Amino acid sequence: MNENDEPRIGVFVCHCGVNIGSVVNVPEVVEYAKTLPNVVRAEGNLYTCSSEGLSKLKEAIKKFHINRVVVASCTPRTHEPLFRSACEEAGLNKYLFHMANIREQCSWVHPKDPKSATGKAKEIVKMAVAKAALLEPQTEPEIDVLPTALVIGGGVAGITAALSLANQKFNVHLVEKENELGGKLKELYKLYPSNNHASEILEEFVRAVRSNTNIKVHTSSTVRYTEGFIGNFKVTINHEGKDETLNTGTIIVATGADVLKPYGLYSYGESKNVLTQLEFEQTMKKGELGNPKNVVMIQCAGAREEKEGGRNYCSRICCAVAVKNALQIKELSPETEVYVLYRDMQTYGKEFEEQYRRARENSVQFIRYEVKLPPEIFARPDGELAVRVYDTLINANLELDADLVVLSTPLIQGKETEELSKILKVPLGSERFFFEAHVKLRPVDFATDGIFVCGTAHSPKTIPESIAQAYAAASRAGIPMALRRVRTEAITAFVNEDLCTGCGTCAMLCPYSAIRKDEQGIARVNDVLCKGCGVCSASCPEKAIKMKHFSDAQVLAEATAALGGA
Amino acid sequence: MHNRVLVVGGGIAGIQASLDLANRGIKVYLVEELPSIGGRMAQLDKTFPTLDCSICILAPKMIECLRHPNINLLTYSKVTEVKGEIGNFTAKIMKEPRYVDMEKCTGCGTCTEKCPVKVPNEFDMNLGSRKAIYMPFKQAVPLVATIDPNNCLYFTKGVCQICRKLCPSSAINFEQKPEEMVVNVSSIIVATGFDIFDPLVMSEYGYSRYKNVIHSMEFERIICASGPTGGHLVRPSDGKEPKSVAFIQCVGSRSQAGKIPYCSSVCCVYATKESILIKEHAPETEVYVLYIDLRAIGKGFQEFVDKSKKEYGVEYIKAHPGEISEDPISKNLQINYEDSQSSEMKRLTVDMVILCPALIPKKDNKKIAEIMGLELDKDGFFKSRDELTAPIDSNIPGIYVCGYCQSPKDIPESVAQASGAAARAAEATVCATTEAVQ
């Protein structure tokens, strides 16, 4: 069988259990597929993705000399790699495979109208067959990967990632914008559950980094710009006004988060006795707590706001931090009354719940307030601070004297996050933290190959959670560096030099900076950077740029089929 | 020095750890005690907060494990002995007999169709049935049949053998014996997952006494298109669609007195997801979530809860109910609770109640801990070397823990920790000396 021969198309229609089969009449679609041009075989499967379904697919390719394959099933997002490799195993170039989505685009959206859904499934299959007839084999170029990583951010996540990569025998550049490593760990007092001083733990981390010969630390340095691609990034960092370019194979973003300073809320900034939890940690760290009579903590200060444009996410760690600090106060100054005003106590998991219990046993007072009736800060006639809160348990207003008011404010995106996301061309999510490739199954990958994220730059999390995620980033970054090679996208743009006038529109629009003009003024595509998005091809006034696997002829064949043509 | 790793547990954590290692060229033995990998995630209908179909995003990874040249998939198997130290462990693995030749079985399903013995299907939380020879679910990996000797007529009464007669590949082998294999590995990753707290202990909620009180894992199977009711949400008592449903949080968890002290971390948000699924199936259904504290702590979770309230009209009631009673005729359920706003005793009558029980470490963890010399914490989770700074390392160098068996966590956290365990295991295999990884 040869792809240059006359197309011999095999169509495999999947029931996807009842997902498709209970709506679309699969046998009818199979019979219809058999009538389409170039189709030499059509069959139905309960689950084409099962081992059984895949072996049937491979057998059919061999038995019927199929040289183009269409699977009508679910989404290529999850299943295209599987079917493509099945084709490869049967001796076909994997780009001679095409997927028709009759689940998300048909059965799932038309569950109440099986007849029309079956008709639509037929049309989707018809389009796929029309395109399949014109498919051409493609190759995925392999490129070398430099076994060096760049870790941006020298907090606990960045340090952990750097150490793990160094232990995997890769070279690591660890870039920190401040003049010493440590990030937020530098500002914390004592840590749960070991009750160790943050400074002791930080010291151990820093010693491990400094003594590891595979790690080069760049403090007081920031990332200016990057170019290149997985395996071969060139990252320019600036150290005290001087630029230096580093060559790295992978990049890990571990730039952390900031703590919201809630100016305008709860008299923050107006009274020196209203602090954030982080500022309060420093008070304790400096031994300046003294023996206040009352400390009032207010949770969700500037978080979980139920208003338009508000910061509505839960910052995850603040309740546990408040409980920890409440217990610290009780340890340092047992006579102090501590009140925690909360909406929902987010002491999830095993340790925090136990700490919460311990705090209640140690007479820390937890008072629940409603979002509609938030606590108010006011001054007594003698000038002393007090907090008024509506306690939903006893249904009454309480007035609490407060020598200190401690606000649990959320972690928010770090200062340099927006700029770094532009420099690295990686996205931010709705909460303005870095946005991963898939929230469920790719928590530390970016959609861009070779760049990874960990720690609170990804979302608010605890130290052990940041550490676990940092190891994860070190694993993911370690994969291409261990192999020293990576396969890249085959579906890229290519330029017809005879037609290109060098207008530069494509280079200007390319979101991946994959197009440059050469000395002759002709557009050149960097195949590794190109993600095949097609913006250049669509915008080229001379129609000089074509997309592999999405040629005009292929797309037009699909469209013609959809519009009822042959 | 062996460039190999043993992974114990074939749920999403074990799968992710195995794939990360295999993809960088390290050989993996992936041991799963059940006939198929997939774990709990395979049983879920959709996942929060994106409402991805769970098996649809998991199945490609399961198949990748099966097909990966660097992964030796050992299902229906248990680790029985571990000796040695980081860089050089020897593990004995016992493979239970399936009484089916895996090489020959094509998963065609002739045997499972013709087998005359029906038994409750564990994968469907015993709500549907399977046969005495079975494949646990449609996307099972590997997709081969297994005979359950406790129910097979040949093993119990010496008769039948229909499967043997009908199998087109002659794959049935009643003589199969357990097989033992010994593997050498440089490190071990433990990812045994979780079990579900038995809600029978909370007798005040009437689980199993009242037909229309079910638990959330049963709900996942009922609402799933490939589940026992084909995805139709119906009440067990009369097969009718419920007009009102209430979820009860913290069943057994966050309590003392011999129950579960910790918070399971995922229930508030999965109940939100399940509420949305009900509303999507039947928008007119009244849905209530009764909770103590609403813990929507992950990325995008608070927004998900907001959406459930505003777009779907799910009602959240801050209350921990005292008891549930059943109307003997209608089989409807009355939930008695103290309203935390007004401190009044209130009643909520619904057609169906879904309990959200604590998720607990596997019972088998004790045995695994004994075999490997691992420490468990007081709740039965594997203990980390240092809970703050070394959450993935166990007390034994070279043995790493990830997923729910280390502490309560959701899928992305399990995936991250599993990749993290793969990094630690890679460090152990790459390093020439054990000191370097400490």
Chain B contact present for A471, CB below 8 A: yes
Q: Is the pLDDT of residue B144 over 70?
A: yes
Q: Contact B427/A430, CB-based, under 8 Å? A: no
Report pLDDT for B110: 85
Q: Name the E strands within A113-159.
A: 142-144, 148-152
Mean pLDDT, all residues of chain B: 94
Residues A522-551 have pLDDT tens digits of 999 988 888 899 999 999 999 999 999 999
Residues A121-170 have pLDDT tens digits of 999 999 999 999 999 999 988 999 999 999 999 999 999 999 999 999 99
Q: Is A136 left (phi over 0), alpha (psi -120 to 50) or beta?
A: beta
Residues A215-234 have pLDDT tens digits of 999 999 999 999 889 999 99
Residues B212-251 have pLDDT tens digits of 999 999 999 999 988 999 899 999 999 999 999 999 999 9
Residues A506-529 have pLDDT tens digits of 999 998 788 999 998 999 998 888
What's the whole-number mean pLDDT along residues A294-309? 91
Chain B interface, mutation test: which of A189, A197, A475, most B Cβ atoms within 10 Å?
Answer: A475
Q: Contact A201/B25, CB-based, under 8 Å? A: no
What's the whole-number mean pLDDT along residues B44-65? 93
- Is residue A428 helix, strand or coil? strand
Please state, in angstroms and rounded to a whole number, the distance separating the CA atoms of residues A200 and B386: 14
> Which pLDDT band holds residue A265 (cuts at 50, 70, 90)?
very high
Name chain B contacts of A194, Cβ cutoff 8 Å: 386-388
Q: Which residue from B249, B378, B315, B425 is spatially nearest to A471, judged by alpha carbons?
A: B425
Q: Contact B56/A458, CB-based, under 8 Å? A: no
Q: Is the pLDDT of residue B11 over 70?
A: yes
Q: Contact B388/A196, CB-based, under 8 Å? A: yes
Q: Contact B412/A439, CB-based, under 8 Å? A: yes
CB-nearest to A443 from B52, B141, B416 is B416
8 A C-beta contact, residue B119 and residue B151: yes
Q: Which residue from B412, B271, B238 is spatially nearest to B354, judged by alpha carbons?
A: B271
DSSP state of A409: P
8 A C-beta contact, residue A512 and residue A520: no
CB-nearest to B423 from A47, A164, A438 is A164
A-B contacts at Cβ under 8 angstroms: 233
Chain A contact present for B271, CB below 8 A: no
Interface confidence, given as ipTM, is: 0.95
Chain A contact present for B415, CB below 8 A: yes
Q: Contact A482/B226, CB-based, under 8 Å? A: no
Residues B343-362 have pLDDT tens digits of 789 999 999 999 999 999 99
CB-nearest to B263 from A169, A347, A433 is A347
Q: Which B residues, 307 through 336, put their C-beta within 8 Å of a C-beta on chain A?
A: none
Q: Contact A395/B23, CB-based, under 8 Å? A: no
What's the whole-number mean pLDDT along residues A451-469? 97
With helix as H, strand as E and coil as C, how does chain B read? CCCEEEEECCCHHHHHHHHHHHHCCCEEEEECCCCCCCHHHHHCCEECCCCEEHHHHHHHHHHHHHHCCCEEEECCEEEEEEEEECCEEEEEEEECCCCECCCCCCCCCHHHHHCCCEEECHHHCCCCEEECEECCCCCCCCCCCEECCCCCHHHHHCCCCHHHHHCCCCCECCCCCCEEEEEEECEEEECCCEEECCHHHCHHHCECCECCEEEHHHHHHHHCCCCCCCCCCCCCCCCCCCCEEEEEEEECCCCCCCCCCCCCCCHHHHHHHHHHHHHHHCCCCEEEEEECCCCCCCCCHHHHHHHHHHCCCCEEEECCCCEEEECCCCCCEEEEEECCCCCCEEEEEECEEEEEECEEECCCHHHHHHHHCCCECCCCCECCCECCCECCECCCCCEEECHHHCCCCCHHHHHHHHHHHHHHHHHHHHCCCCHHHC
Residue type, A209: V
Name chain A contacts of B303, Cβ cutoff 8 Å: 312-313, 430
With helix as H, strand as E and coil as C, how does A156-215 read? HHHHHHHHHHHHCCCEEEEECCCCCCCHHHHHCCECCCCCCEHHHHHHHHHHHHHCCCCE
Q: Is the pLDDT of residue B126 over 80?
A: yes
> Which pLDDT band holds residue B435 (cuts at 50, 70, 90)?
very low
Report pLDDT for B143: 87
Q: Is the pLDDT of residue A359 over 50?
A: yes
8 A C-beta contact, residue A406 and residue A297: yes
Q: Is the pLDDT of residue A200 over 50?
A: yes
Q: Is A260 left (phi over 0), alpha (psi -120 to 50) or beta?
A: beta
Chain A interface, mutation test: which of B256, B407, B419, B438, most A Cβ atoms within 10 Å?
Answer: B419
Name chain B contacts of A312, Cβ cutoff 8 Å: 302-303, 306
Chain A contact present for B165, CB below 8 A: no
Q: Is the pLDDT of residue B83 over 90?
A: yes
C-alpha B57 chain-centroid distance: 16
Share of chain A above pLDDT 70, in %: 99
CB-nearest to A18 from B23, B225, B418 is B225
**What distance in Å separates residue A181's CA from the closest CA in chain B?**
16
Peptide bond into B391 cis (omega under 30): no
Name chain A contacts of B420, Cβ cutoff 8 Å: 467-472, 474-475
Q: Contact B389/A467, CB-based, under 8 Å? A: yes
Report pLDDT for A365: 97
Q: Contact B138/A46, CB-based, under 8 Å? A: yes
Q: Is the pLDDT of residue A85 over 50?
A: yes
What's the whole-number mean pLDDT along residues B260-267? 96
Name chain B contacts of A354, Cβ cutoff 8 Å: 261-262
Chain A contact present for B63, CB below 8 A: yes
8 A C-beta contact, residue B195 and residue B363: yes
Please state, in angstroms and rounded to a whole number, the distance separating the CA atoms of residues A434 and A453: 7
Sign of CA dihedral A529, A534, A535, A539: positive
Q: Which B residues, 225 through 264, put their C-beta within 8 Å of a C-beta on chain A?
A: 225-226, 230-231, 254, 261-263
> Which pLDDT band holds residue B434 (cuts at 50, 70, 90)?
very low
Please state, in angstroms and rounded to a whole number, the distance separating the CA atoms of residues B27 and B77: 18
Chain A contact present for B388, CB below 8 A: yes
Report pLDDT for A135: 95
Q: Which A residues, 22 through 41, put their C-beta within 8 Å of a C-beta on chain B?
A: 22
Q: Which residues contact A387 (CB under 8 A, 6 or more apart)?
A: A296, A298, A339, A341, A375, A376, A377, A378, A399, A400, A402, A405
Chain B interface, mutation test: which of A84, A171, A440, most B Cβ atoms within 10 Å?
Answer: A440
Report pLDDT for A304: 93
Name chain B contacts of A196, Cβ cutoff 8 Å: 388
Report pLDDT for A235: 98
Peptide bond into B149 cis (omega under 30): no
Please state, in angstroms and rounded to a whole number, the distance separating the CA atoms of residues B374 and B397: 10
